[in-house]
Structures are given as structure tokens and as C-alpha cells.
């Protein structure tokens, strides 16, 4: 069987985990957590960053930091993972979905302004497949209407928009190190990136159960006490140890994935030229990370047939998100503003091809052959 995804293992993970265990300090904010955060400061110029237990909890923290309360509204695409909406819905916010662009599957920036009301607090762009949303346009709207921007950069490690790192353009950036992402911290993990010191100081407190423990440990206060709301959002140092091994090989992982992505893109071009399928679109000023390789068929019937056809040949090529506005919880917590011209249609005709670090060349040939064969027979 050719799986859709395989969790990345670089080789040094066990050594670091063993060292963390032997050091006797495996609680959060240990040696490896600090090393990971330093890595992001040095390599990414993410001055204010904190490891978290997941992208979902990074988004939860964002909603707390922005003091989202019942009745507030946030704007995002419906074509996203549940956590993007859930983290704000759980604070009582009303989710306002806007349509996506058919080319990148990202939120259509030109639809955002019409969804703004007096209650709007934030815009949440999701960088689908590690391809950036139109951040200049979105940041301008946010500035003009005095709104916050939280980037759901779950899939966007290593990605850039006009030379700028995704996750560092808005007020807050949220990354995922889940097992299915390009880099993982032992299966579950995340990162919170803050754009300024004020947000960072409060994030440190929220992440440490609402206490000033972090300041206390740094000798900046003589008492350790409850100072704000919060919870436990810091990962075990064992997770960080796993992650560090991957961060040290970030370029290697990225270029390996990009090679696989580029091979799909060049070998599938004849199918695109004949109008049978559509391939991903990457704007010239965006650097992506080969998180995903998706194709779109002419309609959902064909894509369903392909998903079945490939699985019968032991190749897993799944569908992606069911648009949230049509989900049971979505019906309760959200409204779709404007016309759903692309969200439902474009997502229904999409399938994702297997892609992961060190994917076998012959396996990739089998996936490509399977797709050609399918197109020939339909
Ligand atoms: C994976 C993902 C998340 C959730 O990440 P976790 O680390 O699993 O919580 C959120 N948003 C998007 C767009 C994702 O792809």
C-alpha cells in the first residue's frame, strides 16, 4: 500500500529524547524547548515565539489574547480545518465565513471587507498547502478597520510571502507540528508567534496556567502567583527534543519534499494541458513547502471515482475538508457571507496525492501511472 502520509523521522530524534530523559527534566520549557525557540529566533527572526501543545491550542491562546468574547465576530474561510473556527467559537464568537479563491483555495481577500461589521474583531487567513494568502491586501483591510490578524500557518513552516515568513506578518501566527505536517514534535505540537512584546508577555502567562511563573524563573519578580486567565499550553520537553532533530534538518526535509512536489507537477502537466485535471497554482511571490500536492477534476463525480479507483490499487489519495459552514457545528456557530461560488464546488472536486519526506521514487511513479490510467479509462 502507498500511504497518503508518513510521519517524518530524521534519525536523531531518539538520541535527543534519551538525553532529555537522562537530564531528568522533561517538563515544559526545558532545554530542548528553549533550543527550539532559539532556532526560530535565529533562523526565522521570530523574536517572540512559544512552543505549544498544538496549532489548535495556539489558536485557543490567540482567542484569549485578543479577548474574544460572546457576540464578537471573526472572518475566515469555510474551507479549513475545524480548529480555525472552533478556537473562536468556544469563546462565544460568531464565525463569518467568506468564499475562497479557486486558484489557491485560500480565502478571497476581496470578499473580506463586505463581512466586516461593528462586532468584527479579527481576520483569520489560512495558508492552505503552505501557499500564502494575499497578506498585503488583508493587512491593509485590518489596518483600515482596526482589526487583528491571526495567521493559521499550521501547514506553512518554511513558507514565504514576498520574502516574508508566513506566521510573522499578522499580529499572531499559529503553526502545527502534528504528525501529518512537514515537521513534527513527536506527533502533537505547535508554535505561537507574537508580533510584539506586549502580546508575548501576556502569552507567557496564559500558557503557564495564568501565572507569572516564567517571569519568576527569569528572576523578574519575587512572587509566583495567579495573575491572569490561562491554562497549560506548554509541551513536554520530550516533544521538543523530537522537534529539534527535525528543525536542524529543516532545509533537507523541505528540499526533499519540494523535489517530490516538482516531479508531480512536471509529469502531470500533459493531463493539465489536455484539460482533464487542474494542478496547484503558486503565485510568483510565494515560496511554498510542498506540504500538499492536490489536483482538481472537472467535477466531484470524477474525483470520487478517482479516490475509489486509486484505493482499489492500494494508493491513498483522499479528499480534503468538508466546508465548515455545511457541518453540524458550523450551522450553529457560523454564517456564510456572500455567495458560495467556489468553496463547495472547488473542494468537492479535489483529491490529494501521497507526498511525504523520503517518498520512494517507484511509489511516486505508481501514483502518477495510476492517475494517467484512470484518465485514459474515464
Ligand atoms: C493541522 C491543522 C490545524 C490543527 O493543527 P493541530 O496541531 O493538529 O492542532 C489547524 N489548522 C490547519 C489549517 C491545519 O492544517
What is the position in ligand 1's atom list of the atom closest to the CA of 126? Answer: 13
Angstrom distance (rounded) from CA 151 to CA 228: 24
| Closest residue CA from atom 8 of ligand 1 | 178
**Residue 154 CB: number of other CB atoms within 10 A?**
31
Give, for ligand 1, the residue of 154, 190, 323 to mutate: max count of ligand atoms closer than 8 Å to Cβ: 154
C-alpha 373 – ligand 1 centre gap (Å): 33
C-alpha 176 – ligand 1 centre gap (Å): 6
Q: Provide the whole-model pTM.
A: 0.98
C-alpha 81 – ligand 1 centre gap (Å): 6
C-alpha 221 – ligand 1 centre gap (Å): 35
167 lines ligand 1 (CB under 6 A): no
Residue 66: closest CA among 193, 172, 144, 189: 172
> In this predicted structure, what is the pLDDT of residue 34?
97
> In this predicted structure, what is the pLDDT of residue 335?
97
What is the DSSP annotation of 259-289? HHHHHHHHHTHHHHHTTSEE-----TTEE--
Angstrom distance (rounded) from CA 302 to CA 275: 13
62 lines ligand 1 (CB under 6 A): no
> In this predicted structure, what is the pLDDT of residue 216?
87
176 lines ligand 1 (CB under 6 A): yes
Give, for ligand 1, the residue of 5, 59, 62, 81 to mutate: max count of ligand atoms closer than 8 Å to Cβ: 81
Query: Helices marked H in the chain — which ranges?
Result: 13-23, 31-44, 55-65, 82-89, 135-145, 197-207, 213-217, 237-247, 250-267, 269-273, 300-312, 328-333, 343-348, 361-377
Grid coordinates in use for 8?
Answer: 517524518
C-alpha 219 – ligand 1 centre gap (Å): 35
| Closest residue CA from atom 5 of ligand 1 | 55
C-alpha 150 – ligand 1 centre gap (Å): 14
175 lines ligand 1 (CB under 6 A): no
pLDDT block averages, 10 residues each, the chain of length 378: 96 97 95 98 94 98 98 98 98 98 98 98 98 98 98 98 98 98 98 98 97 89 91 98 98 98 98 98 98 98 98 96 96 97 98 98 98 96
- Residues in contact with 26: Cβ distance below 8 Å, sequence separation at least 6, in sequence order: 20, 236, 237, 238
155 lines ligand 1 (CB under 6 A): yes
Angle formed at CA 241 by CA 238 and CA 244, multiple of 5 degrees: 155
Coil, strand, or helix at residue 191? strand
> In this predicted structure, what is the pLDDT of residue 111?
98
Give, for ligand 1, the residue of 83, 159, 288, 318 to mutate: max count of ligand atoms closer than 8 Å to Cβ: 83
Give, for ligand 1, the residue of 51, 54, 56, 179 to mutate: max count of ligand atoms closer than 8 Å to Cβ: 56
C-alpha 126 – ligand 1 centre gap (Å): 10
C-alpha 357 – ligand 1 centre gap (Å): 19
Residue 190: closest CA among 178, 198, 199, 182: 178
C-alpha 198 – ligand 1 centre gap (Å): 25
Amino acid at each position: 500500500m502507498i500511504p497518503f502520509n508518513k510521519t517524518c523521522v530524521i534519525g536523531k530524534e531518539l538520541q535527543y529524547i534519551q538525553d532529555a530523559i537522562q537530564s531528568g527534566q522533561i517538563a515544559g520549557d526545558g532545554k530542548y524547548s528553549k533550543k527550539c525557540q532559539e532556532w526560530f529566533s535565529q533562523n526565522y527572526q521570530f523574536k517572540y515565539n512559544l512552543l505549544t501543545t498544538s496549532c489548535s491550542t495556539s489558536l485557543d491562546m490567540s482567542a484569549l489574547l485578543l479577548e474574544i468574547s460572546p457576540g464578537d465576530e471573526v472572518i475566515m474561510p469555510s474551507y479549513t480545518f475545524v480548529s480555525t473556527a472552533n478556537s473562536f467559537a468556544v469563546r462565544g464568537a460568531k464565525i463569518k465565513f467568506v468564499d475562497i479563491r479557486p486558484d489557491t483555495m485560500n480565502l478571497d481577500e476581496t470578499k473580506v471587507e463586505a463581512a466586516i461589521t461593528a462586532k468584527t474583531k479579527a481576520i483569520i487567513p489560512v495558508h492552505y498547502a503552505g501557499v500564502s494568502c494575499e497578506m498585503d491586501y488583508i493587512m491593509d483591510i485590518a489596518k483600515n478597520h482596526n482589526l487583528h490578524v491571526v495567521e493559521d500557518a499550521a501547514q506553512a513552516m518554511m513558507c514565504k510571502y514576498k520574502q516574508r515568513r508566513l506566521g510573522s506578518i499578522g499580529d499572531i501566527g499559529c503553526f502545527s507540528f502534528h504528525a501529518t505536517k512537514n515537521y513534527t514534535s513527536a506527533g502533537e505540537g505547535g508554535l505561537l508567534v507574537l508580533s510584539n512584546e506586549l502580546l508575548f508577555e501576556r502569552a507567557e502567562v496564559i500558557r503557564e496556567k495564568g501565572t507569572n511563573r516564567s517571569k519568576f524563573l527569569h528572576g523578574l519578580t519575587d512572587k509566583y502567583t495567579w495573575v491572569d486567565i490561562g491554562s497549560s499550553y506548554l509541551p513536554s520537553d520530550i516533544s521538543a527534543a523530537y522537534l529539534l532533530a527535525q528543525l536542524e534538518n529543516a532545509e533537507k526535509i523541505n528540499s526533499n519534499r519540494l523535489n517530490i512536489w516538482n516531479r508531480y507537477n512536471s509529469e502531470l502537466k500533459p493531463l493539465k494541458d489536455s484539460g482533464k485535471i487542474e494542478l496547484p497554482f503558486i503565485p510568483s511571490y510565494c515560496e511554498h513547502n510542498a506540504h500538499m500536492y492536490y489536483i482538481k477534476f472537472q467535477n466531484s463525480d470524477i474525483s470520487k471515482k478517482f479516490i475509489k479507483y486509486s484505493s482499489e490499487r492500494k494508493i491513498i489519495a483522499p479528499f480534503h475538508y468538508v466546508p465548515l459552514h455545511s457541518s453540524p457545528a458550523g450551522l450553529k456557530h457560523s454564517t456564510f457571507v456572500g455567495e458560495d461560488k467556489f468553496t463547495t464546488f472547488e473542494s468537492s472536486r479535489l483529491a490529494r496525492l501521497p507526498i511525504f519526506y523520503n517518498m520512494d521514487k517507484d511509489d511516486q511513479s505508481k501514483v502518477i501511472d495510476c492517475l494517467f490510467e484512470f484518465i485514459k479509462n474515464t
